[in-house]
Structures are given as C-alpha cells and as structure tokens.
Amino acid sequence: MYFRCSRPRVTWLGLLLLIFSGSLPANSTPTGGYSIPFLPKTTLSDTLTFAVSLEKVLQYDPGIRGASANLDAALAYERVASKLPDPRLELESEDLSSSGPEIPIYTFSLIQLIELGGKRGARREVATRKHALAQIEAARTLTDIRSKVHIRYAEAVARQSSARASQASLELARATVEAISVKVDVGERPFIDLARAQIAFADATIEYRQAELDKNAAFSHLASLWGSIPEFSVVSETQPFQEVLDLSSLLELLNSSALSQSWEAELAIIRSQLAVEASQRVPDITLSTGLRKYETTGSKTAVVKLSLAIPLFNGNRARTAAARFQVFGAEAYRDEVSQLARIQVIEAHRKASSINVEVAVLKDEILPKAETVAALMKEGYQEGKFSLLELLDAQYVLARSRARLANAILEYQISTAELARLIEPATFSTN
C-alpha cells in the first residue's frame, strides 16, 4: 500500500469540530484537544542492514537446502551412470527327482550383459547433463532468493521513509495549528482557519497511523523470510543500488545468464536422451559362462552361452522417433522463452530508466523546492502575506513529494531486482 496524502478539505470531521469545539478557550491546547498520536514504541534499537538480512535468509531458506540436495543427487546419479551392469549368478539343476537312468546335472553360470551401441556413454552423457542442470538451477535458486530479499528489504525501507515523512507532515500540521491558534486568540484570524488546520491535522494523524502500520507490516514480511518476527526497529537505508546498464549490454548478459543456460541445459538433456534411445537400437549380447557337473559320475564340463536379440520387428524405432520430436519441441520452447525473456529485459530496462529519471528529479529539484516553498508559506502566513489554503496546499505538495520519492525509489529497486534475476550468471555460492 503506497503512502496516501489527501488534499486538506472541509469534511464531516471539520463540521463536527465546528459544532463541538466552539471558540477555543484561553487555557485550551493549541491543537484543539488533539495530541500527536504516537503508536506504542518498541524497545528494540538494533538497525538491520541488507547484508545481515541476506545472510539470515541464506541460512534459513529451505530452497538452499533443496538445491544442495538436488546437486548431491545428480552427482550420485552421474557416478552410477558410467558403471557396468551387474553380473548375475545362476544355478540350474536337472533330473533331481528322477528314478530312471537319468543322471542329476547341476549347472553353475555367471551371466554378464555386454552393452553395445554406445549405451553406457549415452547414459553417462545424460547424467552429466542433468548434473550441469542441477548446478544451474541451484544458481537460479540463489538468484531468486537474493531478488526476493532485495525487494522485501526495499519495501521495508520505503515504508519506513513514508512513516518518517508522515510524522514530519504531522509535526508540520501540529505546528500550523499552534501558530493559527495564537492568531485566533488575538483576533487576527477567523476561527474557520483554525478549524481547517485542525482538519488537516486530523488527516495527517490518519496518514501517520496508516504509515506506521504499513511499516510494521513491511518489517514483518521481511523478517518472515528467515522465519522470525521483527527483532529490529529500524532498517538501514543503505541498500543495493544498481546503475541501469544500456540495453545492448543487458541483452548480451542475458545470453550468458543462468536463465539462458538452464534452457540450453534442458535441451542438451533431451538431445542426450535421443542418443540413449538411438543406442537401444543396437542389441546387447548376454554372455554366460559356467560349469556343469554330473552328480553320478562326478564329471565336469565348461559351459559357454551367447544370446543376442534380433531387431526384426521393433528395433526401438518408435521411441527413437518420439525422442527426436521431443528435441524439436524443446528447441521451439527454448526459442520461445528466450524471446519472452528479452521482452522482460527490455520492459524492465525501460521502467528502471524512467523511474531513475523520476528519482533524480524528485530528489534534486522537486523535494528541495517543495521544502523551501512550505517554509516560506508558513513564514508568510504568519506575516499575513498568504492565506491558510495556500499554506495547507504547500504542506500537501511537500508531503506528496516525499511520498512520491519513497515510492519511486521502491519501484526502481523492484525493477533492478527483476533485471538482476534475469541476467545473473550461473554461480552457486552462498558467500
């Protein structure tokens, strides 16, 4: 929820003030019975920084543990994929219960599958590609976490700035009521001016309370990233501030980003799976060697057996064709998501560049001038040079300028965080 600032106006609240307050007695408070509504203050005094926030999230976030587990699993699969098939031990017996002249025969065989057609290498290639994809996905997980912390932290800073701006506006409204009250007491200003100032003070009170609630909610959202409640009362306004690169540089970084590498890695896996299916068209040889023993005579003889499937009717042609079409589909998907990512980079760059200009103008031109005009209007009103409406309008412009600056900085941080998520390279390190 953005900081809201409404132009002072005569409302039902103002009518109630006029009805129930009457003229101010000499011993009344300058704010007509209003006091500045400070919310319950916390006893916490620690200031949270972005670096500490990121460290806490990296230690807590289950996504980091999941990415590490997936890496370990992919590595284990890669080690197993290059192993030979396990041999089998077989015992065969003949004529054990025969009562005739047949002789019981025992055959002990060791059976080994001999893979042909490059099956083992193709299988190892799939495992290697999956391990590479797991590394890239781990890097993307880390990038997403950093982007999430960046945005939540920026929201906390923005809400804190809005709360401080609301408090400053409240102080200004209170001082205005005090100054007008003195002039009303001596008859230099009509009571309607005080009523209007009190309405502005009431509006500022509402804005301040809402801004404090928004700030506390933003702090809670930030602390929830590491599974806690806010144990801090202030966030440092020093946060990541990235300059926007030119569009051509951003698009070049996108081509080498973890996002682009993940698409290429997925395509490489599907291509290697095609090689696996193609290797299955070559039949394997089953080699069996053993010893045959004739129980009655005690004689023994060696046994060797070879078996080979004949790819006469199937030959894995259908699965190979299906895998080839999957490659075509994966290439089309890679091109589609790559195009969408380029559009996202272009849009995020446009938005960040536009907001960057807005931040500079607000910070260097609009806000300083609004502060100067508000101060001059207050002084001129006390000297009778300006009307109350002109003074309240200047205060409104100042409050709106502060709110616009806080919101513009937040939008800039969100845009740069989105750009970083898109162009971040594939490096997995929590340091």
The SS3 call for residue 55 is helix
* Side-chain-side CA neighbours of residue 153 (13 Å): 27
Share of the chain above pLDDT 90, in %: 27
Mapping DSSP onto H, E and C, the string for 213-228 reads HHHHHHHHHHHHCCCC
Work out the pLDDT band at 240, boundaries 50, 70, 90: low
Q: Return the pLDDT at 402.
A: 87
Predicted confidence (pLDDT) per residue in 41-59, tens digit: 444 447 898 889 999 999 8
Domains and CATH numbers, the chain: 12-23+47-83+115-281+316-423 (1.20.1600.10), 84-114+282-315 (2.20.200)
What mean pLDDT is reported for the chain? 82
Amino acid (one-letter) located at 424: E
pLDDT at 236 over 90: no
Average pLDDT for 10-32: 37
Higher pLDDT, 232 or 238: 232
Q: How long is the chain?
A: 431
**Residue whose token pair is 């607000």:** 362
Q: Return the pLDDT at 168.
A: 86
Q: What is the C-alpha radius of gyration for the chain, rounded to an integer number of angstroms?
A: 38
Q: Return the pLDDT at 30.
A: 39
CA dist 324 and 326 (Å) reads 5
CA dist 254 and 245 (Å) reads 12
Q: Return the pLDDT at 97.
A: 57
**Residue whose token pair is 């926030």:** 53
Q: Return the pLDDT at 11.
A: 38
Q: Return the pLDDT at 101.
A: 57
pLDDT at 40 over 70: no
Give the residue from 13, 39, 136 showing the smallest Cα distance to 424.
136
Predicted confidence (pLDDT) per residue in 145-167, tens digit: 999 999 999 999 999 988 988 89
Average pLDDT for 271-275: 92
Predicted confidence (pLDDT) per residue in 167-222, tens digit: 988 888 888 888 888 888 888 778 888 888 889 899 989 999 999 999 999 999 99
Work out the pLDDT band at 26, boundaries 50, 70, 90: very low
pTM of the model: 0.73
pLDDT at 405 over 70: yes
Q: Return the pLDDT at 394.
A: 86
pLDDT at 426 over 90: no
DSSP, res 246 = P
Q: Return the pLDDT at 427.
A: 61
Q: Return the pLDDT at 2.
A: 37
Residues in Cβ contact with 284 at an 8 Å cutoff, skipping those fewer than 6 apart: 113, 114, 115, 116, 117, 119, 308, 309
Check the CA dihedral 201-203-206-209 and report its sign. negative
Q: Return the pLDDT at 32.
A: 41
DSSP 80-91: HHTSPPPPEEEE
